[in-house]
Amino acid sequence: MTLIRKPLSRRSILRAGAAGGALLATPTIFTSRAWSQGYLNEPTGSTVTLGFNVPQTGPYADEGADELRAYELAVEHLNGEGDGGMMSTFSSKALKGNGILGKKVEYVTGDTQTKSDAARASAKSMIEKDGAIMITGGSSSGVAVAVQALCQEAGVIFMAGLTHSNDTTGKDRRANGFRHFFNSYMSGAALAPVLKNAYGDDRKAYHLTADYNWGYTTEQAVRESTEAMGWETVETVKTPLAATDFSAYITPVLQSDADVLVLNHYGGNMVNSLTNAVQFGLRDRVVNGRDFAIVVPLYSRLMAKGAGENVKGIFGSTNWHWSLQDEGSKAFVRSFGQKYGFPPSQAAHTCYVQALLYADACERAGTFNPCGVVEALEGFEFDGLGNGKTLYRAEDHQCFKDVLVVKGKENPSSEFDLLEIVEVTPVEQVTYAPDHPQFAGGALGTCNSGA
C-alpha cells in the first residue's frame, strides 16, 4: 500500500487558512448587538445620526433642495454653530446648542424620488445601514404615508416634511409619525371665510382636481367648507397627474355657468393649469354679472414663481411665509438668508421646525427612545417657531396653528416677493375633532421602539 503524498497546493493552503480563520473568529462570533440595546439604533458613541429623506430628483426636486438646506441649517444650530436661528425664539429652552443630549448631530441624506418605493428603500438603508434614529423630510403625501408606516414598523420616529393630504394624520396616522405642516381640511376651513368676503356667498364653483389622493382630500375639504357657507359646486373633474396641457379641461368651464374655478393642483400641475386658465381669458370673464375668480387651495412660493404673472390676485393658503413679522420667522429668515442668500420656502420652514421639535423632545424626554419622544411630543404646546402658539395634538399627532391665507401680489418687488398675506386665520377656526369624517378610519396604535 502506498500513500500518495500530494504536494502542497494553493487550494489546500486556502482551505487550511479559511478553517483557521473561522477558528480564530469563534470567540468573538456570538456578540450580537441586538441584545445590548433597549431600542433600535440607540446612539452609543458621541454622535447621533438623523436621516434626511428628501426628493432630490423628480417633480418636487426644488422643494427637496430647499428642505435639505433647512436641515443643514438646523443641524448647524443644534450643534451650536451659526447664530442659533429659531432656537433663541423657541418657547422651550431645553436645547443648549451642544447637539442633542450632548451628542453631536450627524446626518445622512437620501433621495425619495417622490416614489413610495424609492423613499422606503432610502429610509430603510438609513435605518439598517447608517443607524439613523429619526427619519424626516419628503414633499408628497404618498411618500410621507409610506415612510411613516415604515418607521412605525421598524421602530424609529418619523417627522413628516411637506405633506398636505388629510390622510397623513387621518386614516394613515401612526404613533411614530408627526406632522407639523397643515392639511387639506385646514386649507378649506381657512379659505372659506376669506372667499365669502371677497366673492360673496352664492357662487358656483367648478373644481379641477389632480387625480390622486392629495387631490381628493383637498377637493373634499374645499367643497365641504365652501358649500357650508352657501356656494354651489357645479362640477368636479379629475385631471391626470401627468397632464401638462389643461386646455381640454378649461374649455368645459367656459361652457358651464360656474363663476369660480378651484384648482386642486400642486407643483407643476398648478403652474400649467393656472397658466392655461389665464390664457383662456377666465380672469377677464364675467358670469352672471360677476367677475370670474380662480382659487388655488395650496400655494407655495416655488409654484408662484413658476406661474409668474398669472398668480396676481389669486387666493390660496400656505403654512408659512417668509414675510411674517414675528420674532421666530425673522430669526429664521435671517439665518437662512445669511447662509444661502435668499429667503426660505414653506417646505424649508416646516422641515427646520420639525428637526428642532424632535431635538427638543429628546432633550425633554432625556432619551432618544422613540416611545419617550412620542410622549414628549404628544400634547406639547410651544411658541416662537413662526406660526404663533402651536399644539401637537396627542390624538392624531397633527400640529394645530394659525393658517395663512395669501394672495398673489399685484406689484412684486423681487422674485421672492410674490405672495402677500391676506389673513391669518386663527387656530380655533381650523381645529376639528380627531374623528372628523374627513379623517376617520385611522388609528395611531402604540409606539414602537424597535426593541
Rounded CA-CA distance 361/379 in Å is: 12
Q: Should residue 105 be labelled a site residue for other proteins when binding is judged by CB under 8 A?
A: no
Q: How many residues bind other proteins (CB under 8 A)?
A: 58
- The secondary element (H helix, E strand) that includes residue 389 is none
Site track 39-78 with other proteins (rule: CB under 8 A), x = hit? -----------------xx---x-----------------
Q: Where are the beta strands (DSSP E) in 311-395?
A: 315-318, 380-382, 390-392
Residue type, 389: K
**What is the closest distance, in whole angstroms, from the C-beta atom of residue 133 to other proteins in the complex?**
16
Quick one: cell of 171? 386614516
Q: Should residue 241 be labelled a site residue for other proteins when binding is judged by CB under 8 A?
A: yes
**What is the closest distance, in whole angstroms, from the C-beta atom of residue 32 to other proteins in the complex?**
5
Q: Should residue 267 be labelled a site residue for other proteins when binding is judged by CB under 8 A?
A: no
Among 89, 141, 218, 367, binds other proteins (CB under 8 A): 141
Q: Should residue 394 be labelled a site residue for other proteins when binding is judged by CB under 8 A?
A: no
Q: What share of the chain is helix, strand, coil (3-state, %, to 5)?
A: 40, 20, 40
Among 32, 255, 325, 413, binds other proteins (CB under 8 A): 32
- Judged by CB, which is closer to other proteins: 55, or 316? 55
Q: Should residue 20 be labelled a site residue for other proteins when binding is judged by CB under 8 A?
A: no
8 Å CB contact between 403 and 296: no
- CA atoms lying within 13 Å on the CB side of residue 122: 27
Residue type, 421: I
Q: Should residue 229 be labelled a site residue for other proteins when binding is judged by CB under 8 A?
A: no
- Placement of cell 448631530 in the chain: 105
Quick one: cell of 311? 398668480
Quick one: cell of 196? 365669502
In terms of Cα–Cα distance, which of 344, 333, 313, 343 is closest to 419?
313
Quick one: which segment of 96-104, 177-185, 209-217, 273-281 binds other proteins (CB under 8 A)?
209-217
**What is the closest distance, in whole angstroms, from the C-beta atom of residue 450 to other proteins in the complex?**
9
Q: Should residue 29 be labelled a site residue for other proteins when binding is judged by CB under 8 A?
A: yes
Rounded CA-CA distance 308/312 in Å is: 8
Ranges within 164-193 binding other proteins (CB under 8 A): 165, 167, 171-172, 175
Q: Should residue 116 be labelled a site residue for other proteins when binding is judged by CB under 8 A?
A: yes
Among 90, 216, 320, 358, binds other proteins (CB under 8 A): 216
What φ, ψ does residue 89 adopt, rounded to 5°?
A: -95, -15
8 Å CB contact between 406 and 315: yes
Q: Should residue 230 be labelled a site residue for other proteins when binding is judged by CB under 8 A?
A: no
**What is the closest distance, in whole angstroms, from the C-beta atom of residue 172 to other proteins in the complex?**
6
In terms of Cα–Cα distance, which of 149, 148, 158, 223 is closest to 185?
223
Applying CB under 8 A, the residues found at the interface with other proteins are 9-11, 25, 28-29, 31-34, 56-57, 61, 108-111, 115-118, 120-122, 124-125, 128-129, 140-142, 145-146, 149-150, 152-154, 165, 167, 171-172, 175, 211-214, 216, 238, 240-241, 441-446, 448
